[in-house]
């Protein structure tokens, strides 16, 4: 690697390090918080379920205005503030035992996360040359998969020698470190927009909604890909909510076997991410998105028709392996095709819709289990993902309409 290449990748490498630190800390926090809530609620599983509602609820109540804020503020400074704010909020958790106060704190944290994600995407896009985006996202996928494996292991070690509250404070420290490292990154704004250029009002929100709608209507092919991938994400999330029940109740796996099944998925993501890094430069985004999601659906279908641990493991490995390609392809497509000045609003507004559909679809799938055999629901959902994946492959393969894939 020559000096010019090292210089060009200096800031992306710092970005990847900050993402890795934050992701590992988030896994530690996730596991420790579940245990802390179980302890404070007297081992009531329903109490933990409430935690899973907070993030989509916070997203729904935050995203309709956050995009307007993000696109008008300095992204680097906002990332630093959000990391420090999230660290401070998380550090409060060990001092409260009331379940409702914990829910409130988790909701506030979810709102900050809802603002952070599109802010981070916008800043990363501004920081990278277009030629770097696909490779960067492949490395990011690798880091995410590494965090998926390292985070729970680190949480296990911390919980062996300490308490859930201690592990939660470790995540707060990780976010502070991530925020401090962000200070090493440049300000990539075209002009200084640390303060809102206009007051955030209902009139401004309506104008921003019209701007997103105008972009969407004038870029039909881009939005077909965007909504197709979002639809796949929604259905996959709904299926994932039934995964544990299907594995234990239908496949009759033990808790230990199910735990190993999850580990197989982790291995699939890791191997897929390594393959993505190796092949990113030689694969088109259309192949990564379309081909990746088709194989994700095949993995779900194998899992849905499985009758043993072995076949379920094969399905899990295939879908996790393919997901690394699909996510890298879609993220790169989004960054290359959505104007960076509009990225916060597009991501937030459509993220709101995706969250609403995720909540509705998850509830519908859960209710359907009362009337339809669980295997049938998993099979139907898997075929639904396959159908949308084939449509995504078709629309993304039209290169004349998509010069940037």
280 and 328 Cβ atoms separated by less than 8 Å: yes
At residue 403, the pLDDT reads 53
- pLDDT of 358: 85
> Taking Cα atoms as reference points, which of 359, 71, 60 lies closest to residue 215?
71
Residue 195: its pLDDT value, please?
42
Q: How far is it, in rounded angstroms, from Cα 225 to Cα 216?
A: 11
Contacts 24+ apart (CB under 8 A), 153-157: 154/24, 154/27, 154/28, 155/27, 155/28, 155/31, 155/32, 156/31
Given 3-state DSSP classes, what are the helix, strand and coil percentages for the chain, each rounded to the nearest 5?
85, 0, 15
Cα→Cα distances 279→242, 268, 272, 274, 385, Å: 33, 16, 10, 9, 25
Position 123 scores a pLDDT of: 92
pLDDT of residue 194: 43
Integer Rg of the chain from CA: 21
pLDDT for 333 equals 94
Give the mean pLDDT per block of 10 residues along the chain (405 residues).
67 90 84 79 65 80 86 89 93 87 90 90 90 92 84 80 86 92 85 53 86 93 94 91 84 83 86 93 92 96 94 94 94 93 90 87 85 92 96 83 56
Domains along the chain with CATH numbers = 3-200 (1.20.1250.20), 213-396 (1.20.1250.20)
H or E, element range at 15: helix 10-40
């Amino acid at each position: 690697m020559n000096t010019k290449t090292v210089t060009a990748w200096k800031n992306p490498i710092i970005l990847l390090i900050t993402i890795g630190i934050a992701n590992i800390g988030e896994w530690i926090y996730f596991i420790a918080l579940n245990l802390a809530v179980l302890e404070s609620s007297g081992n009531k599983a329903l109490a933990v379920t409430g935690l899973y509602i907070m993030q989509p609820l916070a997203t729904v109540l935050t995203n309709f205005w956050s995009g307007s804020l993000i696109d008008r503020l300095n992204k680097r400074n906002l990332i630093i503030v959000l990391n420090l704010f999230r660290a401070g909020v998380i550090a409060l958790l060990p001092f409260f035992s009331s379940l409702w106060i914990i829910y409130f704190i988790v909701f506030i944290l979810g709102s900050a996360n809802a603002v952070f994600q599109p802010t981070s995407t916008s800043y990363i896009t501004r920081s990278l040359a277009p030629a770097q985006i696909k490779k960067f996202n492949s490395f990011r996928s690798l880091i995410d998969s590494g965090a998926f494996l390292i985070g729970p292991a680190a949480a296990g070690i911390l919980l062996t020698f300490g308490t859930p509250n201690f592990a939660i404070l470790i995540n707060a420290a990780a976010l502070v470190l991530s925020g401090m490292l962000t200070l090493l990154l440049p300000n990539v704004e075209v002009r200084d927009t640390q303060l809102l250029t206009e007051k955030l009002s209902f009139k401004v929100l309506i104008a921003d909604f019209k701007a997103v709608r105008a972009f969407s209507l004038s870029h039909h092919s881009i939005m077909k890909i965007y909504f197709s991938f979002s639809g796949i994400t929604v259905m996959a999330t709904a299926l994932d909510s039934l995964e544990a029940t299907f594995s234990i109740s239908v496949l009759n796996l033990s808790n230990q076997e199910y735990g190993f099944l999850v580990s197989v998925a982790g291995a699939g993501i890791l191997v897929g991410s390594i393959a993505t890094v190796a092949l990113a430069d030689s694969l088109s985004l259309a192949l990564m998105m379309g081909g990746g999601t088709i194989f994700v659906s095949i993995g779900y279908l194998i899992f849905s028709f499985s009758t043993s641990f072995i076949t379920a493991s094969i399905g899990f490995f295939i879908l996790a392996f393919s997901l690394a390609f699909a996510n890298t392809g879609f993220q790169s497509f989004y960054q290359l095709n959505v104007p960076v000045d509009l990225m916060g609003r597009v991501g937030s507004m459509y993220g709101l819709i995706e969250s609403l559909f995720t909540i509705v679809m998850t509830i519908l799938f859960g209710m359907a289990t009362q009337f339809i055999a669980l295997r049938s629901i998993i099979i139907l959902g898997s075929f639904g993902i396959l159908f949308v994946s084939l449509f995504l492959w078709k629309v993304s393969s039209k290169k004349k309409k998509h010069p940037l894939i």
